[in-house]
Chain A
Amino acid sequence: MYLLILFLPLLGSLISGFGGRWLGCHGTNVFSTSCVIISALLALLAFFEIGLAGTTCTIFLTSWIKSGAFQVSWGFWFDSITVTMLVVITLISSLVHVYSVKYMEQDPHHPRFMAYLEIFTFFMLILVTGDNLIQMFLGWEGVGLASYLLINFWYTRLAANQSAIKALITNRVGDFGLSLAIFSIFWVFNSVDYTIIFPLVPLFEDHFLMFMGFKLHVLTLISIFLFIGAVGKSAQLGLHTWLPDAMEGPTPVSALIHAATMVTAGVFLMIRFSPLLEFSPTILFILIIFGSLTAFFASLTGVFQNDLKRVIAYSTCSQLGYMIFSCGMSCYDVSLFHLANHAFFKALLFLSAGSVIHAVSNEQDMRRMGSLLKFMPLTYSVMLIGSLALTGFPFLTGFYSKDFILELTQSSSYSNLHTFYVSFACWLGSMSVFFTSFYSFRLIYLTFLNNTNLTRNSVNTVHESSGMMVFPLIILSIGSIFIGYLTRDLFIGFGTNFWASAIFILPKYSNFIEAEELPIIIKWLPFALSLLGIFFASFIHLSSKTFHSKSILQNLLAFFGFLINKKWYWDILYNRLIILPILNFGYLIAFKILDRGFIELSGPYGFTKFIPFWSQILIKLQTGQITHYLFFIIFSFCFFSIISVYNYVNFTFSLVLVFFTLLFFI
């Protein structure tokens, strides 16, 4: 049963991919969707067996690579982290499959799309279930590949090509870090199996590695490399630029990959490696700084974006920041809880955005929408549910995970915990709550509530989506309302033993109890901030006041607004400072000077130029005059006799030099 969860999507992908032209459009849809749905049901069963009944399952298939101490096997490890991820992946994936049957109805490439979606699901499952790093890396690279294929699904579009390449290469930077992590783990632990690495970690707490005269703490080094991988995949600040651009793919893809599953792979990696990260305070500090900066930066950028999907993409980026800094606070379980909840409401938001885009004939700019409430009340209500869940409205899903993360950051107010840097996360995280609710409701107002900016043609064709598309929305909105409440006690309840040995937290970093003891006013703070954001958004969009004045402050604000709308110029900076110099290096130095220059000159090109030159000189020697030939005979006779006499006396290098200079002058 456990293997079926994995191999049903693989089977579906292979058959719908290679046999798509025999199965046909409908056949592919039915076959691949049913494969994933069965896999999702089995995943729920696995969740019951492993998560609720408290067992752990390991499956050893066969040996993969065997070379001395290096042994990799095809093994699967199902524990509570894995089954949680399994349920999230297969459930979201099957809903997206159902959704895209109707959404991609007009598209001629159904079998290919379904095959890509399924192969993505399969690789994601490999990623989360692998019991060693190599197998995890296989899944990690596989989802990168699937992401490339899916973003580039409409391969005739230039923007899709560019975004796909950008996503792949930016991910590759992170993958470089992850492969360094795997190498260093094997160097230190002599194994890549989780079951061997994790118990050994405490032994290496005071282990240092000498590298070029530097003394490096081994665990910090490994965890920094791991984090670089997570930065690439989970779009943390620095390597986040691919995520908004990945919205060039079809909307179901954005919902599946860039909201719910692939981007959470980095967070999953951090959670999986909790036994290792715990022993390195440096990496916890780095996680907090990077996570909170990402949360703040992305939520601020989302405020000034006008593309419907791009706003939600930045929202994803921001929520990933929350998950990462909650890992930095050693609250891996809360992070995973937020991951699971976030998957539900973000998939909901994306799919309902897809429904909106579908209705207004593929227009993505929010400024050209408006008053869609009249036309599609159901989409409006599910999107409102998603947005409220995202802002952490009380008793919706987001409330139980997100607000709890923020409460945990408040524990920095207890000075005896020595976690002063958590206040960084506290401030930035709280501010991003405000921005999150602001952009969510800006989105709602611009799309659904404001006066319409649609063209007359579009207004005539606006319609509520059909049943196949609405069904996943309803399921996901039910999830967005209830999942948090239902699984709260299981995942982050007080003293829950759901995680068993899957997550390891050092007792000195555990600050659950402190978070429970916070004053009630502080516990209300996130809710107050999100309400403030909602009111602010309502004020701007409901009142007729416009902000047009010439004061310096206004100009400054306008300047910052412009800056943020341009995404803080990250892309341009990367293009100008990194990509352009590398391209120039590649063309001017590596290609023009080295490849076609120096090497060619000393190789074939140089010879073809040099030999005719010499032969011209030699031709000139053949004058045809007998006296000249006689001169050469006598001259060389004299020359060699002098040389031989001189050599006999003492051989010097200079003589050889004289010889060659003579040769040259000839």
Chain B
Amino acid sequence: MFQQLNCTNISSLLFLVSLLGIFLNQKNILVMLMSLEMMFLAISFNLIFSSIRLDDIIGQIFSLLILTVAAAESSIGLAILVIYYRIRSTITVELMNLMKG
């Protein structure tokens, strides 16, 4: 069987890595989107692990739903990105400050 601690650690670590990926990245918005996907992955992983651990199907169903949501989200995100690139000709995060207060 999986080591319980190990699996939790992996998912938490993955979540943290993705968080830092979003947080520390100042350059590329693609990296941000990928970190977002990683975040969903970490969550799904955690849910699946918990469902196996607790012997309950709900977690897996939920992760399937997350999968679809993530797919939809990334497609919309990429679409926004494409539109943005068409207008601004750049996808650098630092330059996205037109909405300054």
Contacts and interface: CB of A to CB of B under 8 A. Distances in A.
B100 interface: yes
B22 A619 contact: no
A602 interface: no
Interface residues of B, number: 14
B26 A627 contact: yes
Contacts of B22: 630
B23 A624 contact: no
B13 interface: no
7 closest Cβ contacts across the A-B interface?
A: A622-B101, A624-B97, A624-B100, A624-B99, A619-B101, A625-B97, A630-B23
Contact of B100 (A618, A622, A627, A631): A622
Nearest to B98: A624
Nearest to B29: A626
A156 interface: no
20 contacts: A618-B101, A619-B101, A620-B101, A621-B101, A622-B100, A622-B101, A623-B97, A625-B93, A625-B94, A625-B96, A625-B97, A626-B32, A626-B93, A626-B96, A627-B26, A627-B93, A630-B22, A630-B23, A634-B19, A634-B23
Nearest to B96: A626
A622 B25 CA distance: 19
Interface string B77-101: 0000000000000000110111111
A623 B100 contact: yes
Contacts of B100: 622-624
Contacts of A622: 99-101
A622 to B, nearest CB: 3
Interface of B: 19, 22-23, 25-26, 32, 93-94, 96-101
A621 B22 CA distance: 19
A322 B72 CA distance: 110
Contacts of B99: 622, 624
A630 B19 CA distance: 9
Nearest to A620: B101
Contacts of A620: 101
A117 to B, nearest CB: 76
A638 to B, nearest CB: 11
Interface in A589-628: 618-627
Chain A's interface size range is 10 to 19
Contacts of B19: 634
Interface string A623-660: 11111001100100000000000000000000000000
Contacts of A630: 22-23
Nearest to A625: B97
Contact of B101 (A624, A631, A634): A624
A623 B25 CA distance: 17
Nearest to A622: B101
Given A625-B97, A627-B23, 16 more contacts: A618-B101, A619-B101, A620-B101, A622-B99, A622-B100, A622-B101, A623-B97, A623-B100, A624-B100, A625-B93, A625-B94, A626-B32, A626-B96, A627-B25, A631-B23, A634-B19
Interface string A534-568: 00000000000000000000000000000000000
Nearest to A621: B101
Contacts of B93: 625-627
Interface in A64-115: none
Nearest to B101: A622
A634 B21 CA distance: 13
A502 B61 CA distance: 110
Contacts of B32: 626
Nearest to A615: B101
**Which among A623, A627, A631, A634 has the highest number of chain B CB atoms within 10 Å?**
A627
A128 B19 CA distance: 96
Contacts of A631: 23
User: Which interface residue of B26, B96, B99, B101 has the most chain A CB atoms within 10 A?
Assistant: B101
A634 B32 CA distance: 15
Contacts of A618: 101
Contacts of B98: 624
B28 to A, nearest CB: 12
A624 B22 CA distance: 16
Contacts of A624: 96-101
A619 B99 CA distance: 12
A551 B94 CA distance: 99
B79 to A, nearest CB: 18
A626 to B, nearest CB: 6
Nearest to B100: A624
Nearest to B32: A626
A426 to B, nearest CB: 91
A177 to B, nearest CB: 66
A623 B26 contact: no
A619 B19 CA distance: 26
A77 to B, nearest CB: 82
A3 B96 CA distance: 96
A624 B19 CA distance: 19
A634 B24 CA distance: 12
Interface in A394-429: none
Interface string A183-215: 000000000000000000000000000000000
Contacts of A626: 32, 93, 96
A623 B96 contact: no
A626 B32 CA distance: 10
Between A621, A623, A626, A634, the greatest number of chain B beta carbons within 10 A of the residue's beta carbon is seen for: A626
Interface in A470-508: none
A624 B101 CA distance: 7
B38 to A, nearest CB: 15
Interface in A342-394: none
A624 B94 CA distance: 9
Contacts of A627: 23, 25-26, 93
Contacts of B26: 627
A631 B22 CA distance: 10
A478 to B, nearest CB: 97
A619 B93 CA distance: 21
A618 B101 CA distance: 9
A539 B26 CA distance: 112
B87 to A, nearest CB: 16
Contacts of B25: 627
A619 B101 CA distance: 5
